[in-house]
Chain A
Amino acid sequence: MGTWVFLAAGWVLLTALFGLVTSRNLIHAIGCLTVAQSSTYLLLLAVGYRRGATAPVYSDLTPGTRPVVDPVVQALALTDVVVGATVTALLLALTIQLHKRHHTVDPQSLTGLKG
């Protein structure tokens, strides 16, 4: 695995960035934002991965018998999921409201603020 996962995470981030920069639809842009977030899951889980190890759940596992993957990164990824869900929900709610009032979801047609 090694380097490839890190490269993949970087690639996913850049794809999301490309989507965000060229986006003509806010729903699409917020989708791209969650793609950017997926790159962080990929990286975090790759950092804590151990070949041949199992999940760090000790209910059916005697400590010390088998190697386990790093539980810290899994906790980080879970926290990240929660944080991301909040932000995505909030941004989508704002977009719905924007569509109701402004009848558009194209970020390029928003020209109220410039200079």
Chain B
Amino acid sequence: MTEATLLPLAVALPLLGAALLAVAGRALPRLGCDILATTCASAETACLALLWTRTDGHLATADLGGWPARLGIVLAADPIGAGLALLVAVLILAVIVYSWRYFDEPTGEHAGAFPALILLFEAGMAGFALTGDLFNAFVFFELMGAAAYALTGYHIEDPRPLHGALTFGIVTSFAAYCSLLGIGFLYARTGELNLARLGQQLAGHHTDMLTVVAFVLICTALLVKAAAVPFHFWLPDAHAVAPTPVCMLMSGVMVELGVYGIARVYWTVFSGPGGIPHAAFRTTFTALGVLTALLGALMCWQQRHLKRLLAFSTVSHVGLFLIGVALLTPDGVAGTALYVAAHGLVKAALFALAGVLLDRYGSVDEHGLHGRARNLRLVGVLFVAGALALAGLPPLGTGLGKALAEEDAARWQPWLPAVFVTASALTGAAVLRAGLRIFFGAGPAPRRRPDQEETTGQGEEPEIRSPQRTAPPTMTVVPAVLLALAACIGVLPAAATALAKGAAVFTDPARYTATVLALPQPAGEGNPPPAADWTMPGVLLGLLSTALAVALATAAVHQRTPELSAHHPAARAVRTLRRLHSGHLGDYLAWLTVGVAALCIALAAQT
């Protein structure tokens, strides 16, 4: 099959599968639905794996409907975009296998609805990663959004999922309309929607307020999806209530697609003359990334609701990804791409393991579950391995991605590696602390904190109807395989080399434009692919953050961390931060407005 068939097929396959499941699901028995969904997900994974091998170091494009790229809509895949779509497909396959026996639903009218929604979600995410058209990206963004809102509120019997889904839906949709306004501004200036043509046309104009506002508005929806501070408030709420398989997807790859979208739009449209200067983008988005990484890590440490804890850890890592992308170097992109891939696999595995707890005990509360899961030894060991992977333990993939990104960051600002180490150590430590308490009963039982504003995670509805059944083996096998894959990314150099080549293509907008518009290729070789190997400082920093995580977690479990009085300034600051996460829709939208205004001012001041 050629690239021109593979690309549309990658979007069409899950859409077809979703339609089939929605129709046939009423007639098919449970097993039939599972087989159909698994077949679709496997075919999509095979299709994207094939596409990824075909894009080895160059761009694959497909003109839809036979229209040339200057008129019609194009799909374009470089190794980074295709790799992200492949990560989507792998996680979807894992989720479908994980939920084979997870949802113990009665067959009948709605059988097949859950896998159909998951496949629709996949179509949106894969399309977003592969599109070469700005408006098309908006449509795929909304498709993935609508599927995600429906999946978040899937347990409609319980008010909390409805609350989470409504907040998620309203905040994201509002941000999407802001983006559409930005797209309208850009179209008014250039008369184009194709990313490559937009970049070309923008080069003929001067950077002015319209460019800045258009860029910030387009970024709004992507930043909300990426959950950068202060656009992140919907994320912990949605993750706390969404069914576990959905959390695996949202944290594993949907959030990262926002970061990818920002990088893609910046490089193809705004990186040239008439766009946003490199220095302005680098400073602003690094600052945003640092803020996100540190706040996410601090909030992660404060949580006792396991899913919320993992959600804040995602916020923190997104901050690190933003820093990696904002460096605007092939090295930064290569490191971030690796980090995203490994983090997605690890985070999905951790959510899957939290799902086992929810399945067994109907709770994901770190304090309430203290020592209760001692008999789930294998799950406990996997959970601790996941925590160490989050902390960046070499030679796991997360460690390699973090090492590459922080090494490149250190070349620009020598203090940036400290942010990487702090964020990964704190998030790893929080997960490790929860794992040690729940699975190994370490330390005394945690003290009660009746005065804290928090979501405890007790009394969650178990996601199945009969908690007495034995745990299905797929629920442990899937996270184990995901963790093994994350380890492979760090150990086998093939993935790192391919992504490094991809990063060289990704950061070369001239080549992108030439390939998409079928122009003669620019002279020269383009960027050389960056080195993507373990180095001594990288290994040492990875070991340092892991050691810090272990030390912090041990101290917390044995309650040797200093106890602050309620009036201590630090304790007050933390309490204020927690109060900001009030769960109120209006507050979240107000923060979104503050974020947009701050970004506009910051970028306008530097152009």
| Chain A residues within 8 Å of B, Cβ to Cβ | 9, 13, 16-17, 20-23, 26, 29-30, 33, 36-37, 39-40, 43-44, 47, 72-73, 76, 79-80, 83, 86-87, 90-91, 94-95, 97-98, 101-102, 107-108, 110-115
Assembled-state Cα–Cα distance A95/B165 (Å):
10
Query: In the bound complex, do residue A21 and residue B586 qualify as a contact, i.e. CB atoms below 8 Å apart?
Result: yes
Assembled-state Cα–Cα distance A87/B165 (Å):
12
- Known contacts A47-B184, A94-B165, A113-B455; 12 additional CB pairs below 8 A are A30-B170, A72-B193, A76-B187, A86-B142, A87-B169, A94-B166, A101-B157, A101-B158, A101-B162, A112-B159, A114-B454, A115-B455
* Closest CB pairs A-B (n = 5): A115-B454, A102-B159, A113-B583, A112-B160, A47-B188
Give 28 A-B contacts (CB < 8 Å), ordered by A residue: A17-B174, A20-B170, A20-B585, A26-B166, A29-B170, A33-B170, A33-B173, A36-B174, A36-B177, A40-B181, A43-B181, A47-B188, A76-B183, A87-B149, A91-B170, A91-B173, A94-B149, A94-B162, A98-B162, A107-B584, A108-B584, A110-B583, A110-B584, A112-B455, A113-B236, A113-B240, A113-B583, A114-B455
Minimum Cβ distance to chain B for residue A23 (Å): 7
Residues on A with beta carbons closer than 8 Å to the beta carbon of B177: 13, 33, 36-37, 39-40
- Count class of interface residues, chain B: 35 or more
Assembled-state Cα–Cα distance A73/B586 (Å):
31
Residues on A with beta carbons closer than 8 Å to the beta carbon of B589: 17, 20-21
Query: In the bound complex, do residue A113 and residue B164 qualify as a contact, i.e. CB atoms below 8 Å apart?
Result: yes
Mask of B143-166 contacts with A, CB within 8 angstroms, 1/0? 001100110010011111011111
Assess whether B53 is interfacial by the CB under 8 Å rule. no
Assembled-state Cα–Cα distance A87/B143 (Å):
9
Assembled-state Cα–Cα distance A28/B177 (Å):
18
Query: In the bound complex, do residue B169 and residue A94 qualify as a contact, i.e. CB atoms below 8 Å apart?
Result: yes
Assembled-state Cα–Cα distance A83/B600 (Å):
27
Query: In the bound complex, do residue A113 and residue B453 qualify as a contact, i.e. CB atoms below 8 Å apart?
Result: no
Residues on B with beta carbons closer than 8 Å to the beta carbon of A76: 135, 183-184, 187
Query: In the bound complex, do residue A102 and residue B181 qualify as a contact, i.e. CB atoms below 8 Å apart?
Result: no
Residues on B with beta carbons closer than 8 Å to the beta carbon of A80: 180
Provide the main secondary structure of the chain B interface. Answer: helix
Assembled-state Cα–Cα distance A43/B169 (Å):
23
B593 in complex: contacting residue of A17, A43, A86, CB < 8 Å: A17
Minimum Cβ distance to chain A for residue B571 (Å): 14
Interface residues of B in 546-594 (CB under 8 A from A): 578-579, 581-586, 589-590, 593
Minimum Cβ distance to chain A for residue B313 (Å): 16
Mask of B437-463 contacts with A, CB within 8 angstroms, 1/0? 000000000000000111100000000
Query: In the bound complex, do residue A83 and residue B169 qualify as a contact, i.e. CB atoms below 8 Å apart?
Result: no
In the complex formed, the residue of A with least CB distance to B174 is A36
Assembled-state Cα–Cα distance A64/B232 (Å):
51
Mask of B168-202 contacts with A, CB within 8 angstroms, 1/0? 01100110011011011101100001000000000
Interface centre among B178, B454, B579 (most CB of A within 10 A): B178
Minimum Cβ distance to chain B for residue A10 (Å): 8
B241 in complex: contacting residue of A33, A97, A113, CB < 8 Å: A113
Query: In the bound complex, do residue B187 and residue A47 qualify as a contact, i.e. CB atoms below 8 Å apart?
Result: yes
Minimum Cβ distance to chain B for residue A64 (Å): 18
Assembled-state Cα–Cα distance A112/B453 (Å):
11
Residues on B with beta carbons closer than 8 Å to the beta carbon of A17: 174, 589, 593
Query: In the bound complex, do residue A90 and residue B139 qualify as a contact, i.e. CB atoms below 8 Å apart?
Result: no
Minimum Cβ distance to chain B for residue A51 (Å): 16
- Supposing A36-B174, A102-B162 touch, asked if A107 and B586 sit within 8 A by C-beta, the answer is yes
Query: In the bound complex, do residue A112 and residue B163 qualify as a contact, i.e. CB atoms below 8 Å apart?
Result: yes
Interface centre among B145, B146, B166 (most CB of A within 10 A): B166
Query: In the bound complex, do residue B169 and residue A91 qualify as a contact, i.e. CB atoms below 8 Å apart?
Result: yes
B180 in complex: contacting residue of A40, A87, A101, CB < 8 Å: A40
Residues on A with beta carbons closer than 8 Å to the beta carbon of B159: 98, 101-102, 110, 112
Residues on B with beta carbons closer than 8 Å to the beta carbon of A110: 159, 163, 583-584
- Supposing A87-B146, A101-B159, A114-B581 touch, asked if A40 and B184 sit within 8 A by C-beta, the answer is yes
Residues on B with beta carbons closer than 8 Å to the beta carbon of A87: 142, 145-146, 149, 169, 173
Query: In the bound complex, do residue B237 and residue A113 qualify as a contact, i.e. CB atoms below 8 Å apart?
Result: yes
Assembled-state Cα–Cα distance A95/B582 (Å):
20
Residues on B with beta carbons closer than 8 Å to the beta carbon of A44: 180, 184, 187
Assess whether B42 is interfacial by the CB under 8 Å rule. no
Assess whether B497 is interfacial by the CB under 8 Å rule. no
Assess whether B302 is interfacial by the CB under 8 Å rule. yes
- Supposing A90-B150, A112-B455 touch, asked if A98 and B139 sit within 8 A by C-beta, the answer is no
Assembled-state Cα–Cα distance A86/B135 (Å):
17
Interface centre among B177, B583, B593 (most CB of A within 10 A): B177
